Amino acid sequence: MMNQYHAHDDLFPNQCTSSLVQEIDAPLSLVWSLVRQFDNPQAYKRFIKNCTMIAGDGGIGSVREVMVVSGLPAETSRERLDKLDDDLHVMEFSIIGGDHRLVNYQSTTTLHEDDGGRSDQTVVIESYVVDIPPDSSEMDTCLFADTIVACNLRSLAKISEKMARKVQVPPAA
């Protein structure tokens, strides 16, 4: 899966890429139920205030506009769902507009069951490619994008794990 979805060998000189990994103590089906909601990214992405669907119903080709929380160097982001595979647990989206520095940003997220065969643990890999702004460096651009992605992945883990604990708690007698 890493080579198929997260190897970005066709970079232009003005682009950078990175991949981040998050282990989550929750079943893949539960984590995927949050990730696959293109029309509700604020379910776990804490930098998003709200989301409005501009086109589509949340399936491939749909376009959303997200309002970013105050304090970040942006207000809006317009994003298109490029791939959603419920069997392979793959989601890809592109940022196609907005008032931010993430120009030509393309994200790929894949979910995997733990290699040790634990059905109650999920490994999430998120990679991206983005243009480096003319007034920035590759390192600064990747640091900025990595910070946002890492925060989103930590939030996904926290929310998924909390939901998984609720499911595991037996009802009171």
SS3 63: strand
The answer to whether residue 47 sits within a structural domain is yes
Q: How crowded is the C-beta side of 16, counted as CA atoms within 13 Å?
A: 16
The CATH code of the domain that includes 94 is 3.30.530.20
- DSSP for 148-171, written as a single string: HHHHHHHHHHHHHHHHHHHHHSPP
The answer to whether residue 172 sits within a structural domain is no
Q: What pTM does this model have?
A: 0.90
The answer to whether residue 61 sits within a structural domain is yes
Predicted confidence (pLDDT) per residue in 18-66, tens digit: 999 999 999 999 999 999 999 999 999 988 999 999 999 989 999 999 9
Instruction: Write down the pLDDT at residue 74.
Output: 79
**Domain that residue 161 falls in:** 2-167
The answer to whether residue 173 sits within a structural domain is no
Predicted confidence (pLDDT) per residue in 92-122, tens digit: 999 999 988 889 999 999 999 876 666 789 9
The answer to whether residue 163 sits within a structural domain is yes
Domain count, the chain: 1
The answer to whether residue 127 sits within a structural domain is yes
